[in-house]
Structure 1
């Protein structure tokens, strides 16, 4: 791999991290227009799924069938319905920066589920990363901040988002090498939208609300994944995972500038521990950023 190719790959992954970092920002803007968090999640899944379906159709990608289709449907309900919904609920309850940081507890959930269900051994680095994650969440819980509401509700929704985000790692281990990921998302995201539909109270939407929903679907979902996949073609997964971990940094800086969300020094240190643990996982094991956002 040439140096120029690696540079281009890093640029694509950096773009993906920036776009994913905008997710909570656009979500908060959309909610300020009177949309509920579950409606924001619903339109993200539906419109994002339409983008993936169009792309998969143009690429003539093979769709999952049989047992693989059933597992993809189940993934759509858990990894899209619950994940998208809980993330937007975490944004409403605690703020965009807190939600983005708690999302990066996902690698710890991956490691623990591998240990519990597949009897995978946790080495010293994995165990250390789990401890760092737990310590980071504890510091965030105790530290709070200005414009950031740390509560049982915000932590609960944020950790639920992290848990369901971890399904992308587990599902992707098997299916992302078997099928074009865009074809899988073309199935999983519409299924996720259907899973959310019964719980969504729809509100009248202004043009500003539609603009923010469109940005979430097109930029933070479809374009972010596409940029990340282009980066992976030119960069090894570990380096890509490290660069993608800038996502919560982007979200926190923008949330501070736009919404005056500022974590206290202890909470900032806790956030650094959570992100550091995710980086440690990416270099210590096969747990890599799944390109979900």
Structure 2
């Protein structure tokens, strides 16, 4: 596969996450709440993954019960916690601040990877994390008029969203030591789906679920920014450090911004351009060969 393969997998998965608005906006217009859309997403994903597993990977459908802790981590503490915290934060403060707090995820991944996965914490990672966070701030755009909307609940749940987002990478790395990427992805969404179905009212809207548009956008949501994206991300994560994968995945807001420009004719100003460039440079920096980085650093200090 080489070094470029995992990088491309992570980048493509992030780009697919960036197109999620196409499906979410349509399903919202069709009458679904935010958490119902999340539930529809994970239930559709687990059904699609189940079909793929039975027909193509039957041997990868088995896990040991003792290892279910990893999938409780990726499914509940990541997928469910992240979504609940994120939507709570949106209701507590402006969307821009909620998005920025969500993208503290690479910071959490770098710290947790250092503590639990014994990955190195070097200057490149620190600079890249700062760069991606700054880039997200510029892309999203923050107005000082929004400052009064900031409150403690919003900050805590926003950081909780970033933390939950980060936990998929950490728990996923532990799970990948024992299982293939397909197995990790399938059981992540199986646990998340079982949990969310219990705590949402999606079942009460079963009559809406047979609507042709709901089926089209529901399957699209479950397939492209979910099944394909998570399979690619998990496969890429298998071959690289958690901290690097998380930083590369911050190309997601760049993809989302480009989508908003071309599909929804939203504004794209100089700040968004600068933010996108900073994120891409941060991704390039984290993937530079160590020798190249050291040569450049030595030149800069000469």
TM-score scaled by length of structure 1: 0.70
Taking a change above 3 Å as real, the CA distance of residues 49 and 240 of structure 1, as seen in their structure-2 partners, is same
Distance 1:127 1:243 in 2: 14
1:1-293 equivalences under 5 Å are 15-58=12-55, 59=57, 60-86=59-85, 104-115=103-114, 122-133=121-132, 135-136=134-135, 143-144=142-143, 152=150, 159-202=159-202, 203=205, 205=208, 206-226=211-231, 237=240, 245-262=250-267, 265-266=270-271, 269-270=274-275, 273=278, 276-277=281-282, 280-281=285-286
- Check the 8 A contact 1:44/1:216 in 2, yes or no: yes
Q: 1:91 Cα shift?
A: 8.1
Q: 1:78 Cα shift?
A: 1.2
Deviations 1:221-240 (CA, angstroms, capped at 9, x unpaired)? 1123445678899xx75898
- Check the 8 A contact 2:100/2:140 in 1, yes or no: no
Deviates most, 180-189 or 130-139: 130-139
- Check the 8 A contact 1:144/1:264 in 2, yes or no: no
Taking a change above 3 Å as real, the CA distance of residues 110 and 229 of structure 1, as seen in their structure-2 partners, is closer
Q: 1:73 Cα shift?
A: 2.2
Deviations 1:110-131 (CA, angstroms, capped at 9, x unpaired)? 1123456678663222333344
Q: Give the paired residue count.
A: 277
Taking a change above 3 Å as real, the CA distance of residues 157 and 252 of structure 1, as seen in their structure-2 partners, is farther
- Two-structure CA RMSD over aligned residues (Å): 4.5
Distance 2:283 2:178 in 1: 26
Deviations 1:56-103 (CA, angstroms, capped at 9, x unpaired)? 3331215321321133224311122123445567789867x9987765
- Check the 8 A contact 2:72/2:188 in 1, yes or no: yes
Deviates most, 119-128 or 32-41: 119-128
SS at match of 1:209: helix
- Check the 8 A contact 1:40/1:88 in 2, yes or no: no
* Structure 1, unpaired ranges of 5+: 286-293
Deviates most, 186-195 or 251-260: 251-260
**For the pair shown, which has the larger CA radius of gyration, 1 or 2?**
2
- Check the 8 A contact 1:110/1:170 in 2, yes or no: yes
Distance 1:27 1:116 in 2: 36
Distance 1:275 1:100 in 2: 18
Q: 1:35 Cα shift?
A: 0.6
Distance 1:163 1:45 in 2: 20
* Structure 2, unpaired ranges of 5+: 291-302
